[in-house]
Amino acid sequence: MAQKHDIAVLPGDGIGPEVMIEALKVLDLVEKEYDVTFVRTFGNLGGVAIDEEGKALPQTTIDLCRASEAVLLGSVGGPKWEHLPPMEQPERGGLLPLRKLFGLYANLRPAIIFPSLVEASVLKKEIIGDGMDILVIRELTGGLYMSQPKGIEGTAPDREGIDTLRYSEAEIKRIGHVAFQAAMKRQKKLTSVDKANVLASSVLWREIMISLSAEYPEVELSHMYVDNASMQLVRNPKQFDVLLTENMFGDILSDEASALTGSLGMVPSASLAEGSFGVYEPAGGTAPDIAGQGIANPIAQVLSMALMLRFSFNMIEAADRVDAAVEKALEAGYRTGDIFFGNPGEKKVSTSAMGDAIAANF
Ligand code: NAD
């Protein structure tokens, strides 16, 4: 009997709905090839939810996500909603509470430069060679952004701003296992990024990572201070396979790694909860400058869908095939405007034509 999975589809704002159509186009083919049905229920998140249901994360959307095994998300936000109080805006009022509500503690961002797109990278060809493939894993629910106490205390001119950086052994172990397991499926190299020369939380982080490594003897574990890691990412990114970091360091390093790929339209992400539930979305935003023109790059959304197959549904072969289809479409010269350089063999195409090219190569 065909397998059936329930997924929530939240296309979001700006280019979100345009690129989501292309990801679902490829998902249609996965269904046919693998005798599986993804029951897709659409919901509102972000600006569209404010317009239609009065708030960025409506109860209907929370209920829908609770009833689903995974959430495929477009980006949210845009100038239309920037006048609202910060906590009511699409990201602060929609996306962040969604992440918190579902305990999404592990954020995975592959930063890949495909061989045919070496030119798109901001780095020189001598550094990138024939491409790059790094997986940045960021702890998402602890650390400096989340720990208590936090706030501004006292009265001016003697106020103090307070943030706390706290990690428990259990939190470090939980994200550590995710990183080791991801490394096992890749090149088996894991770099744990910390600041153990200054921060007590990093000393504990490093100690726990070393103790966990006994369970993964095949994985080569190394440690790097965060300042050096940010430098090594631009000097010699090819030394990395999996990079693991705490929340704030990961916020910064994952953006840096994404920037190396040349276009935000290429970078997918997965945010995982315990068990198999996950939220899958492009790393970039809603691109208001090009929204509605049918020219956005759908690859980040398509690759986010592939991450959903990989992590929530353990459909590794199907996920590999989606990734390969993207690579083949690029090798065949298909380019949306953000990755078009006018070189011989390149064909500048629309969002839907790029989706068609990926589908044709699946
Ligand atoms: P952005 O990522 O939307 O755009 C930055 C640049 O990248 C723009 O030039 C845009 O055209 C380009 N770009 C991004 N995705 C692309 C794609 N798929 N194809 C082609 N080009 C692409 O960042 P921004 O302009 O800072 O933010 C715009 C809106 O998106 C803001 O409201 C912001 O709050 C929101 N945002 C949302 C998320 C999210 O939902 N996760 C993340 C970042 C920004």
Contact call for residues 328 and 361 (beta carbons, < 8 A): yes
Nearest C-alpha to atom 27 of ligand 1 is from which residue?
285
pLDDT in tens, the chain (362 residues): 679 999 999 999 999 999 999 999 999 999 999 999 999 999 999 999 999 999 999 999 999 999 999 999 999 999 999 999 989 999 989 998 998 899 999 999 999 999 888 888 889 989 999 889 999 999 999 999 889 998 999 999 999 999 999 999 999 999 999 999 999 989 999 999 999 999 999 999 999 999 999 999 999 999 999 999 999 999 999 999 999 999 999 999 999 998 898 888 999 999 999 999 999 999 999 999 999 999 999 999 999 999 999 999 999 999 999 999 999 999 999 999 999 989 899 999 999 999 999 999 99
Q: Which of 6, 133, 251, 356 is catalytic?
A: 251
pLDDT at 2: 78
Q: Is 158 a catalytic residue?
A: no
Contact call for residues 121 and 128 (beta carbons, < 8 A): yes
pLDDT at 41: 98
Nearest to 198 by CA among 173, 227, 222: 227
pLDDT at 240: 97
pLDDT at 1: 65
* Ligand 1 atom at minimum distance from 76 CA: 40
β-pairing verdict for 242-245 and 189-194? parallel
Q: Is the CB of 78 under 6 A from ligand 1?
A: yes
Q: Is 356 a catalytic residue?
A: no
Contact call for residues 183 and 216 (beta carbons, < 8 A): yes
Q: Is the CB of 333 under 6 A from ligand 1?
A: no
Q: What is the pLDDT of residues 153-208, one digit of tens each?
A: 999 999 999 999 999 999 999 999 999 999 998 999 999 999 999 999 999 999 99
* Ligand 1 atom at minimum distance from 16 CA: 18
Q: What are the structural domains, with CATH classification, of the chain?
A: 1-105+274-362 (3.40.718.10), 122-260 (3.40.718.10)
Q: Is the CB of 131 under 6 A from ligand 1?
A: no
Q: Is the CB of 338 under 6 A from ligand 1?
A: yes
Percent of the chain with pLDDT over 90: 90
Q: Is 105 a catalytic residue?
A: no
Q: Which of 51, 227, 320, 347 is catalytic?
A: 227
Contact call for residues 46 and 76 (beta carbons, < 8 A): yes
Q: Is 323 a catalytic residue?
A: no
3-state secondary structure of 197: coil
- The region that residue 2 occupies, defined by phi over 0 for left and psi between -120 and 50 for alpha, beta otherwise, is beta
Q: Is 255 a catalytic residue?
A: yes
pLDDT at 119: 84
Contact call for residues 331 and 276 (beta carbons, < 8 A): no
pLDDT at 146: 87
What pTM value is reported for the model?
Answer: 0.93
Nearest C-alpha to atom 16 of ligand 1 is from which residue?
265
pLDDT at 99: 86
Pocket test for ligand 1, best of 13, 44, 71, 75 (most atoms within 8 A of CB): 75
Which residue shows structure tokens 């070189």? Answer: 343
CA distance linking residue 257 with residue 277, whole number of Å: 25
Contact call for residues 315 and 278 (beta carbons, < 8 A): no
Q: Which of 145, 163, 238, 348 is catalytic?
A: 145
